[in-house]
Structures are given as C-alpha cells and as structure tokens.
Homo-oligomer: A and B are copies of this chain.
C-alpha cells in the first residue's frame, strides 16, 4: 500500500505550497496584509482548506519564522572557518546586524513579533532560537577560555551581546531611530560604528 505514502507526500506538498505562498506574500505585503484569504486566493484554494493543513495563522508564521532561522543559521555557520573566536564573534555580530538590515520583515518575525511565539507558550523549547543563541554562547565560551574578552559569566556576556545587537537593530526596524533626525544611511553607519565600539570594548 504505497497510497498512504503518496498521500503523506501530497499532504507535505500542500503544506509547502501554503508556506511558500505565505512567505512570498509576507515579504511582499507584510504580516497584516497577508491574510488567510489572500494566501487562499494565491494558491487557488478556499480559505477553509488552509485549516486542514495548519491549526491557525500563527502556526503558518511559526513555520516561516523557523525557515528564517535556518537562513540566519547558515549565515552564522559560514564563520565556522574563523579560527580566532573573538574574530568569529565579531563576524557573527556583523552578520546579525546585516541580516536585520537586509531582511527587516524576517527579523521582525524572528525577534519582535508575538505571533510565532504563541506556538511555544509553555512548551519544551524554542529550538530555532536555541540554536542561534547556542552558537553565540559557544563562541563566547571559547573567547572566555582563551581570555580574549573580559572575564564574566558566559550567560551574562551572551545576553549582553545579544541584547545590545538586538537593541540596535530593533529600534531601527521599529522606527525609533527617527529621533536622530538623520538620513537612513547615516543612521545605519552609526549603528555599525556603535556595534564595532561595543565589540572592541569586550576585549580584555
């Protein structure tokens, strides 16, 4: 009975079709304008069909959120070749900032929006976030072992690095950097400078 397997494949194909359409619409129109009806129209199915493959809208956006994390993780992994852990940490940070500038909608979904997080409420783990944070944590641990950055608890340091970088880009993404009354590229340059200063200050 290969029918069961074919059905399984078709079910997965349909999920992919929905996710692909939702992702494309999300990046083009933003979260609010990507409604179940918009997706349904795009894939030429009725809105109700989508609910046969996903529990609710949040579940769709959790999947997009996970895909975005896998993109970021690949960008992180590209720095595995950097031997010096401090240089690797700096490179990962720059990649994080650049990713947010290049993909503000993905960044928003990954680190700011509430929508995808409702899926993890009182659940075991946030695997995708764990993976990205874990990468930073490992690199920081190496830096501490080799006494390349100021001695401190590794968790405190990881939280600090992440918070600082997230603060920079999230204030930008959510348009609070307008208080600077500066051109967009000037603001970005300042954020980059700010990040470089921060990283240098981590040094022993």
Q: Which residues of A contact B (CB under 8 A)?
A: 111-114, 117, 120, 125-126, 129-130, 133, 150, 152-153, 155-156, 159-160, 162-168, 170-171, 174-181, 190-191, 193-194, 197-198, 201
B112/A179 in contact, CB under 8 A: no
Say yes or no: A166 contacts B162, CB within 8 Å: no
Contact of A111 among B129, B159, B174 (CB under 8 A): B174
- Assess whether A152 is in contact with B197, with CB atoms less than 8 Å apart: yes
- Quick one: given A130-B179, A166-B167, A167-B170, are A156 and B114 in contact (CB under 8 Å)? no
Extra A-B contacts (13), CB below 8 Å, given A163-B167, A163-B171, A167-B170: A112-B112, A112-B174, A117-B176, A120-B178, A125-B181, A129-B179, A133-B179, A153-B193, A159-B168, A159-B194, A162-B167, A164-B164, A164-B167
Copies in the complex: 2
Distance from A143 Cβ to chain B, minimum over Cβ atoms (Å): 15
A contacts with B: majority SS: helix
The answer to whether B160 touches A198 (Cβ under 8 A) is: yes
A191 to B179, CA, bound (A): 26
> Would you give 6 A-B contacts (Cβ < 8 Å), ordered by A?
A111-B176, A126-B179, A150-B201, A155-B190, A163-B171, A166-B171
* A178-B179 Cα distance, complex, nearest whole Å: 31
Q: Is the CB of B197 within 8 A of A160?
A: yes
Q: For A194, what are the chain B residues with a Cβ–Cβ distance below 8 Å?
A: 156, 159-160, 163
Do the beta carbons of B129 and A176 come within 8 Å of each other?
Answer: yes
- Most B CB contacts (10 A, CB to CB) among A113, A133, A156, A194 go to A194
The interface residues of chain B lying within 8 Å CB-to-CB of A120 are 178
Q: Which one of B114, B167, B181 contacts A174 once the chains associate, using CB atoms below 8 Å? A: B114
